[in-house]
Every structure is written in structure tokens, then in C-alpha cells.
Structure 1
Amino acid sequence: MHSIRVWDLPTRLFHWLLAACVVGLVISASVGGNWMNWHLRLGYTVLTLLLFRLVWGFVGGHWSRFANFLFGPGALMAYLQGRSAPAHRVGHTPLGALSVFALLAVLLAQVGTGLFSDDEIAFFGPLVRFVSGDTVLAATNYHKNIGKYLILGLVALHLLAVTFYKLVKKQGLVRPMILGDKVVDQAFPAAKDTAGTRLLALVVLVCCGVAVNWLVGLGSAF
């Protein structure tokens, strides 16, 4: 048995910060009122995190790179039939990778439409002024009535999958996402997780934050 670093620290922090922000977004949207100020701030934070993850998917640790969990239909079918390659069960499995991409896409759509949404009371997205009224209505409808439930559904499926792996397959998925290491039965490449890579992640995160701040500021610049 081998213990290897699967999830680097930036990936783990991204995961838990994103989870906390999604919970905060759901709560703030449900409460409404002045809590919507926090809803907006958390939405900008999620956008920053998502941009970071998109970049980190190309320059991050081995198992965090999209190239290492971008599987075709054949790999997915092989996994479902119990005959996938051992390496496909180290990081994200083919089925898990599908859920990751789905969640990233739905979250991007949610925060994207939030930038163009208007609750017609007191709060509106920073980019509302740049699109037509019909576009604002469509974005608001998706944000409030479609995207929210897609996210809740995907999160529920994610939690069910974690529980299934723990109780049925006897594989804990939470511990590796907290500590970073995973015990495997073969030697596989370990994710690079050094002071240098963590500094790179911080630089990427700051750049993403600056980009989001600039995007949000466009609304007040005109």
C-alpha cells in the first residue's frame, strides 16, 4: 500500500471554501432583506473561486488538472461496469469527474446570470445596465427558478455519492479532501504540493480576485 498526495492544499481550500460559500448563498437568498448584500459578496467570491479553479485545472497538482480527469464515454462505461483502469480511481473517478464538471458549469451559469439579475426591489447585478430588459428577465428567471434548484440537486447527489462510497464501497472521500493524502494499492504520481506551488496558487487567486473586482466595478463606472 502507498500513501500519496492526491489533493494539493489549494485544491482542498477551494473545495471547502466553495462549499461554505454555496451554503451561505442559499441561506442569504432565503432570508432576503439586507442579507442580500452578503448574497452579492458571496456570489463574487464564488466567481473568484471558480475562475481560480479553471486556471488551476491547467497548472495545479497532477490529480487536480483537467487533463487527468477528462474521461470519454468509454472510460465512463468501463468504470460503471467495474473494469476501469486503476488510475481512474485515484483522483476523480469517471463518474465523479462528470459530476465535478456539471457542478462547475452550473455554478458558473448561476453566478453569471446573477450579474445580470434584478429582484425589482432593491438589489440588482452590477452588469444589468449593459443588457436589454428581456435579457435581465431571462437571467433573473434562470437565477431564481432554475439554476438554484440545479445546484441543490447536484449538491444532494454529491453528498449521496460520498455516503455511498463510505458505507458500501468502504472508501472515505472526505478524509483525503481534508488531509490531502490517499492510501492506494499501487504506486501512482503524487500531486506536487510545495511552498512554490502554493505561492503560485495565491498569485492566481489574487489575479482572479482582481479580475472579478474589475468586472463588478464596470457597473458603477458608467
Structure 2
Amino acid sequence: MTTVIRSGFRKQAYDLLRERILNQEYAFGERLNIDILSRELSISNNPIREALTMLEKDGLITMTPNVGSKVIEFTTQSFHELTQTIMLFIAGAYELCREDDKLDQMVVRMEEALEAQKKAENGTDLEFARAALRFDEITVKVTENDRLIRLFDSQMDVFQLALLYDYQNREMNRAGNIAEHESILNAIKQRDHKQVRRLLRKHYVREIAES
């Protein structure tokens, strides 16, 4: 049993529940009962309820009147909309970096992230997903545009869950994901901007596997 003992119960409950969701200690679609969570955390219902409201705003759970809260699930449409949104963030960030002459900086950071991803290839789904996301986020981070980065970061928890959901509904092709990242990196090195845009769309905008 995990007990929250310090002040700031709502924030601590939020942080713990968020981490459990991202670590898949709660399964997709699993109901989150306030009374049970209250007993587990030794904290009253109200801070738990407030933490769940915060998680709903993050897109990690859904809350339905007279039904309760549960961890999100993905449909073909919601998965496609999310990956399309991520692609637009990254493609737009690439153009900003191109205009601001930051592609060399991007390449260095991508090379480092790609090496880390290769090391995670034999790890758990969660370890590999997080390594893949570190490569994905570099294009946006290199812009140094705080507003863009905040907007992008607000989608990353849901994107991580989407990757894990997809992995669970198809045979995960880790080598294929790494190969696509290598192709994107090589196109950036060659300053083949048309190819970069094509590869980004291919990499991000696709349909979730049907279970």
C-alpha cells in the first residue's frame, strides 16, 4: 500500500496516479474507484476526486456521470487524430528549425537519442516507447519556442499511452521504428526537406492496428 503523508495531497495523488497510468499499472479502460483509491493512499475522497479531474484534463482518463472514471482507450479515429496532431507539431517545428539554422544542433541530439533507443531495443515496451519518444520530441525542443514546447508536452503522456496501446494490438516492430528514425535523420543530414516531410508523415500518420 502506498501512503501519501506530506502536504499537498491533491498534487501528490495526481503525480502517483499519473505515473501508475503511464507505467500501465492500471490497464486501458480500467475503472478507478475513488473509495478504493482513498483507502490505498490513506487520503480523503475530495483530493482524489480533484486529482482525477486533473488527469481528465490531461487526457489520461475519462469521467462519465453516474459511471465514474476509467483509464482511456483508443479507437481508430482517436489514434489517427492524435498521431496526426503530433506529426503537425513535429513537421512545423522542423520548418522553424530549418529557418533558424538549427538543423545541425538537431542532428547531434537525434544521433544521441537514436543510440539510446537502440540500447532500449531489448527492454520492456515502456522502456522502448520512452526511448522512441525522446527521439520524437527533439525536433520540437530544438526550436526553443516555449509556447510550442508546452503545447507539445501536453500531448506526450497520451502519445506514450497510444504507442503502448498500439504495441499491444500488433506485433511490435522495434527494428522498423528505429529504421524509420534513421531514415528521418539521414534525410535531415542531407537537407532533403521534401523527403523529411514525406518520412515524417509516413512515420506518424497511420491507423492503429485492429485487435
With normalisation by structure 1, the TM-score equals 0.25
With normalisation by structure 2, the TM-score equals 0.26
